[in-house]
Every structure is written in structure tokens, then in C-alpha cells.
Chains A and B, each alone.
Chain A
Amino acid sequence: MALWHRRRRLKRRLLVELVEDNLEQIRGGPPRPRPASVGLGLPRLALALLPLALVAGSHGGTNAAATSPPLAHAAGAVPRAADPLTPPSLPLATVDAGVFPLAVERVVLDPGHGGRNGGTQTPSGMVEKDLTLDIALRLRDLLEEEGFAVVLTREEDVALSLEERVAVANREQADLFLSIHVNWIDNQAVRGVETYYLGTSDDPFVGLLAAAENRDSGYAMADLKGLLVELYSGLRQDASERAAAAVQRSLLRSLRTVNPAVQDRGVKTAPFIVLMKTEMPAVLAEVACLSNQQEAELLGRPLYRQYIAEALASGIVSYADGRRAAAAAGRSS
């Protein structure tokens, strides 16, 4: 069955590449570039996209990407310090997942933003809400092929409050919640992926980021601290960290084949409402930086969004496999 799913996924990806190749023909674009010497293991797409990726190296830290400042309340679209964040230290739980031998069967995907809340945006009109929805829809198909039950908080361009998103996840009794966002960073030379799970952070940027993400929730930051207390330890946070790590690892491994300059901005903790109020392991992934011109161009390509979706799917499958293995170990011990 797994083989069948893998084959279907492979065929789907080949079809995406084939259609893109034909669209290039129709547009009269230049021939696809010759690949590097065989044996490097770089996928064809990697080579097709490599010129974009490599340009990044020629841009300094003040790269004037053709992108505009983000919309004010975009999740993950807050101006940030140039230095990468340092993951805060947290008292992580040590509860053995085998104690809860539950499979990951139902996943709620949350495409960030929507409706009047577009998220970050480029001058050319690429809007975060559209990108996150497109990636989520692709991801849904992939996860369903893997046998997961998948629910989206939104399937079209509608505005949803954070509470409504959380309510969907809790009502569906999901085993995992994944919120998908696209980042905006002031230093437009920076590109990369980062994945969050619930926790506090001493980093001022994360505070700003969470404040922006949590806007309109009806809570103040002070209120939230109380809510967090009971969550600092325990299985949910542990599972969330594992899920975040699996997603981040998969994003990096997959996207670096097509976007070699992508940076590992780390697995981090932050008090996002959607992570806090959900009752299951929950992560928030910033899958790219729209503020970086090259990454914005990549995001404009359906094939790159497909790669992101596949990386997220792979991360979730990996996390689910880990849970299953841990549960099996727990039963046998």
C-alpha cells in the first residue's frame, strides 16, 4: 500500500514537471537548462531553478528585492532582526510517547490568513493567503494518499479568526494541527524555513511575531502566559516538538535540492494562539520568505509549491511513523 502511494506521488510530481515544461514551451521560454554532471543527485527541477537560487549569493544584505513591506498583521510578516533567532531553552517533557499508543490519523491543516487578511504581499500581487491555501490543498491530496483523514480550516479565500481555526481543529479531534505561513524578513537577502511549536521565547522578535500572529484573538499577552503554564511540560509539547522537528528536517532536505541557498532558521518555540489553544500536537511552519526576491519567484511556480507540500507531507509521515514506532515500543516494554 505504501509503495502504491509512493508511486502515485511520484507520478503526480512527474505530471507537474511535465505540465510546467509544456507551459514553458507555450510561453516560448528558453529551453530547460542542461543539468550538472550526472551523479550529483540533483533533481532536474533543482537545476531548472538553480539559476534563481544562485543569484541569492550575489545579493548583499541590503538586497532590494522587488517586494513590498508586508501587510501589517501578517503572521510571520513582522520585521525582524537580521540575526537568526536562537532557540530558547525550555523544560521539555520527557513523557514517553509509548504511554499513549495512538496513531496519527486525522490532520487539520490551517492555511494562514484569508479573506481581508491577505498576509504578506509582493508588489506584483503575490499574496501569502493564496500561497498558503495552494500549498495546503496540495498537501491535503498528498496526505490523503497516505491514508490520513485531512480537514482544512479553510478551503477558499475567506477570513477566519484564530479562534475559529482552533475550533475547527478541536472539533475535528485532530491528531495533529499544522498551520502554514510564508515569512517576511526585513533583511531581504535572507531566505529560509522555520517551524514553531508552542512555548515561550525571550527573543524580542518572537514576541513581535507572536503578537502579530495573535492579533484579533481577544487575548492579551499577559493572559496568555497563564495559559502556557500548564503546557510547558507534557506529552503534547513533546509531540509538538517532534512534529516540528520532523517538518523542519523534511522542508530543509527537500527544498535544498531545488533551492540550495535556503537557510535553516531552526525549530523554535513561540506562543502563537493557534498552537496554544489547540488540544493536539500543533506546529506552525514558515515555509519560505516572500521578502526574498528569489524565493518569491520560486513561490510563484506551482512546482515549487508542490515541493513544499511534498516536504510537509513527508515530515508529517515521518512524525506519524515515529509515533507509531514509539507506541509499538511502549506496548512491547
Chain B
Amino acid sequence: MSEKESLKVGIDLGTSRSSVTASNGQRHVIESYVGWPADMVARKVLKKEVLVGREALENRSMLDLFRPLEEGLIKEGSSRDEAAVRELLRHLLSLVGAGVEKGNGRRVHAVVGVPAATLRVNKQSLRKALADLVDSLIIVSEPFAVAYGLEALLHTMVIDLGAGTADFCVMRGRLPTEEDQRTLTTAGDWLDEQLEVLVREAHPEANFTLHMVRQWKEGHSFVGEPRAPVKVTVPVDGRPTEIDITAPLRTACEALLPPLVETMLDLHSRVDPEYQERVRGNVILAGGTSLIRGLDKRLEAELAQVGGGRVSRVSDPVFAGSDGGLSIALEAPDGDWDRLKG
């Protein structure tokens, strides 16, 4: 079978959402949830052995639901979490037409992005999970994949703001080292938790779930001055009631800023002084949490204290990682894929 018949895929395995981009032009994003029917009745109703993504979320009351990635990594200690990661990956691959075990169809070469601080043991877990699903695998740090896809490989800083982690990476024209990268766990999920606490404090009578909080954040998050009051509807004593969450939402979103700014400036200070200005002028935001309105301008304002710079958001934050992964997959020589066979 020739390499021309192989399918190349880039995967951004995220805590909250995972995306896949394939060389056949297909591109999908799913919620990183996997669920198994909780009992015989649920199995009969759902008529499926396992549900993935939005389908799993929508039927969560009938499922043992797993979100198998924690802070961007495969949860350890639970075989069910490992199985869930495998189901998640299998589902992603099936969405782009590679949903068969390897050997039954065309070759599948995958590049999977993981948080910058992922330990080797976690990478090995990922290799194990993908062993029977792809023919060859390259694991790459997520911000590097983003940078590669954008061809922002020299004197740039990529900040990949996901749900589980915020990954920082300074690109110096080489594979990033530990010194070039930082991973914070104050990211989208952390923001959700802050927002939940703040809304409960502001509206103790309201009845809502963390899942609803996540939806509010995704629909309305901002830093700086609000454009308009943010109002959501929640049950209060069983009756749908509109509550104003503008202040809690702003507070929660802006709570992300100090660690982000501190890390951005710290990494910047470690860049060779000759190149600091160029790095400041090329700060790139990616990832779902980067969609917080006003975040780019706020970070740019913070750069003023070290001489000013420019912060831009990638045009497609959700797919920037998987698109970058596909770029790597497409440009890696065929001979290298042979060497990387699992």
C-alpha cells in the first residue's frame, strides 16, 4: 500500500473539547465526554454500548459519564478513564473516515497535541491508547502544533488557552524545551469553578449546574467593560427566573489575568534580550478560552509595562491545534512515519 493512500490526521485532545483535522478535508470538534449506559434499561433505551461527545452529554442522566482528560492529561488510576480516552480517540478517527482498527483499511498517521508539561508517562499512556487505532503516531506539545500550523516558528509566543490548561510556548526556531514552555491549570475549567462559586454567592436562590455555568461562560465571557448586562435564565423555586451574572462573570474572567500576565512576562524576560521586542510583537492566542472577549487587548495592555507589543488571536481558535497537527503530519517525510510505527 502506498503512502499516497494513507490518511494523515491532526488531533487536539482537549479536556473540554477535542478536535480532529484530516488530510481528506474533514474537520470535526466534539465534547470530550464518553458515557456508558448505567444499567440495562438505559442500554435498551439508548441502543448503544457507548456514547461520545454531545450525544453523551445530552443523555448523561442515563450514563456513567466520563470526562477522561484532566488538565489535558489522561486521568490515571481508572481503567474506565483509559477506556474512555480510547473511545474518544476512536470516535474522532471515525468522524474523519478512519474508524477502523489499523490493518483493516488505509494507513492512518496521526499527530496528537498534548499540554506542554505532559510527562513522559502520560505520553506513553497515550501511545498505548492509540496503539491499535493508528499506524504511526507523533505526540507534540499543543502550542508547538499551533505555532507550526501558523508557521510562527521564530520569535513568537503562543498561548494556548484550553479548558484544562493554559499552555505557553516561546518559539525560537527549535523544538521547545522545558525552559521555553509553561503550563498553568488556571484555564477554562478553573474559570468555570470560580464563576459557579460567584454566581451562587450572588444568587443563592438559583438552581443550576456546572454544565450550565460552562455554557454561560462560552456564550458571554469577557474582560473589561461589559457591552451589555449578561442575563441568564435559571430555575428558582421551580420557576424559570432571569438573573444578572455580569459582575460574577467579569470577576471570574478577570481572575484569569494575573497568572496569565505573570507567566507571559516571565517567559518574555527569559528570551534573549536581542529578540524580546520581536517576541512581544508576536504573541498569539489560541484555544477555546482565548475567545474571552477583550482578553487579547488586555494582555496587549499588560505588555506595555515591558515596552509594548501585539497580541493577536488565531482566526480559528478551536481548530488551530488540530490544523497544526495536520500540517506536521503532512510535512513529515514518509520514511519518518515508517520509523514511528507502533
A interface, CB within 8 angstroms of B: 7, 10-15, 17-19, 21-23, 25-26, 28, 31-32, 34-35, 37-39, 41, 43-45, 47
B179 within 8 A of A: yes
Nearest-neighbour CB distance to chain B for A325, whole angstroms, equals 26
Stretch of B9-17, B68-76, B328-336 contacting A (4+ beta carbons < 8 Å)? B328-336
Q: Which residues of B have CB within 8 Å of A25?
A: 120, 123-124, 127, 139
Q: Mark B310-342, 1 if CB is under 8 A from A, else 0.
A: 000000000000000000100111001001101
CB of B147 to closest CB in A, whole Å:
9
Is B340 a contact of A19 with CB atoms below 8 Å? yes
Minimal beta-carbon separation of B300 from chain A (angstroms): 23
Using A7-B151, A11-B331, A39-B272 as known contacts, say yes or no to A18 and B120 having CB atoms under 8 A apart: no
**B interface residues, Cβ below 8 angstroms from A:** 120, 123-124, 127, 137-140, 144, 148, 151, 153-154, 173-180, 270-273, 328, 331-333, 336, 339-340, 342
Residue of B whose beta carbon sits closest to that of A35:
B177
Interface centre among A10, A14, A28, A34 (most CB of B within 10 A): A14
Task: A18 to B331: give the CA distance in the assembly, Å.
Answer: 12
Does the CB pair A10–B332 fall under 8 Å?
no
How close is B171's CB to chain A, nearest CB, in angstroms? 9
Report Cα–Cα, A44/B181, bound state, in Å: 13
- Interface centre among A12, A13, A15, A47, by most chain B C-beta atoms within 10 angstroms, is A15
Complex Cα distance, B139 from A21, in Å, reads 9
> In the assembled complex, how far is the CB of residue A3 from the closest CB belonging to chain B, in whole angstroms?
11
CA of A47 to CA of B177, assembled, Å:
10
Do B332 and A19 have beta carbons less than 8 Å apart? yes
CB < 8 Å neighbour of B340 from A17, A22, A38, A41: A22
Residues of B within 8 A of A43 (CB): 174
B151 partner residues in chain A, CB cutoff 8 A = 7, 11
- Given contacts A7-B151, A38-B270, A43-B174, whether A22 and B138 have CB atoms under 8 Å apart is yes
Neighbouring B residues of A26 by C-beta, 8 Å: 127, 340, 342
In the complex, which residues of chain B have a beta carbon less than 8 angstroms from the beta carbon of A13? 174
Q: Are A44 and B174 in contact, CB atoms less than 8 angstroms apart?
A: yes
A-B contacts, 6 listed (Cβ < 8 Å):
A10-B153, A11-B148, A19-B138, A25-B139, A26-B342, A39-B271
Which of A31, A35, A45 has the most B CB atoms < 10 Å from its CB? Answer: A35
The reply to whether B153 and A34 form a contact with Cβ atoms under 8 Å apart is no
CB-CB under 8 A for A38 and B271, given A11-B331, A14-B153, A22-B340? yes
A21 to B178, CA, bound (A): 13
CB of B154 within 8 A of CB of A34, answer no
Q: Give Cα distance in the complex from A13 to B179, angstroms.
A: 20
A45 to B140, Cβ gap below 8 A? no
Could you tell me if A19 and B339 are in contact, using CB atoms closer than 8 angstroms? yes
Asked if B174 and A17 make an inter-chain contact with CB atoms under 8 angstroms apart, the answer reads yes
Is the beta-carbon distance between A32 and B336 smaller than 8 angstroms?
no
Question: Which residue on chain A has the smallest CB distance to residue B138?
Answer: A22
* Min CB gap A258→B, angstroms: 11
Partner of B175, one of A7, A18, A38, A39: A18
Measured between beta carbons, the chain B residues less than 8 angstroms from A32 are 177
Residue in chain A with minimal CB distance to B151: A7
Answer whether A22 and B139 are a contact pair too, CB < 8 Å, given A15-B336, A38-B179.
yes
Cβ-defined partner of A34 (8 Å) among B139, B175, B177, B271? B177
Closest CB of chain A to B190's CB: distance in Å? 27
Which residue of the partner chain B has the closest CB to A141? B333
- Which residue from chain B places its CB closest to the CB of A15 in the assembled complex? B332
The reply to whether B124 and A18 form a contact with Cβ atoms under 8 Å apart is: no
Decide if B174 touches A14 in the complex (CB within 8 Å): yes
Do residues A14 and B148 form an inter-chain contact, with CB atoms below 8 A? Answer: yes
A14/B175 in contact, CB under 8 A = yes
Q: Could you tell me the distance between the alpha carbons of A9 and B332 in the complex, rounded to whole angstroms?
A: 13
Contact of B272 among A10, A14, A22, A41 (CB under 8 A): A41
B174 to chain A, nearest CB (A): 5
Given contact pairs A11-B331, A17-B174, A22-B139, enumerate 10 new A-B contacts (beta carbons under 8 Å).
A13-B174, A14-B153, A18-B175, A22-B137, A25-B120, A26-B127, A34-B177, A35-B179, A39-B271, A45-B174
Q: Which residue of A lies closest to B147 (CB)?
A: A14
Distance between Cα atoms of A41 and B127 in the complex (Å): 33
Contact residues in A for B138 (Cβ distance below 8 Å): 18-19, 22
How close is B136's CB to chain A, nearest CB, in angstroms?
A: 9
Please, how many angstroms separate the alpha-carbon atoms of A18 and B273 in the complex?
Answer: 27
- Which chain A residues border B176 with CB–CB below 8 Å? 44
Taking the closest CB of chain A, its distance from the CB of B86, in whole angstroms, is 19
Name the distance in Å between B135's Cβ and chain A's nearest Cβ: 13
**Chain B residues within an 8 Å CB radius of A7:** 151, 153
Interface centre among B140, B153, B179 (most CB of A within 10 A): B179
User: In the complex, A38 Cα to B276 Cα: how many Å?
Assistant: 12
| B192 → chain A closest CB, angstroms | 32
Assuming the A-B contacts A23-B340, A31-B120, are A11 and B153 also in contact, with contact meaning beta carbons closer than 8 angstroms in the complex?
A: yes
Contact status B339-A17, CB under 8 Å: no
7 nearest A-B pairs in the assembled complex, by CB-CB distance: A17-B175, A38-B270, A35-B177, A44-B174, A19-B336, A43-B174, A44-B177
Which residues of the other chain, B, contact A35 by a CB distance below 8 angstroms?
Answer: 177-179
The docked-state distance in angstroms from the alpha carbon of A34 to that of B176 is 11
A11 to B123, CA, bound (A): 23
Chain A proximity of B109: nearest CB distance (Å): 12
In the complex, the chain A residue whose C-beta lies closest to that of B173 is A10
Nearest chain B CB to A9 CB, angstrom units: 10
Closest A residue to B175 by beta carbon equals A17
Give min CB distance, B287 to chain A, whole Å.
21
- What B residues does A38 contact at CB under 8 A? 179-180, 270-272
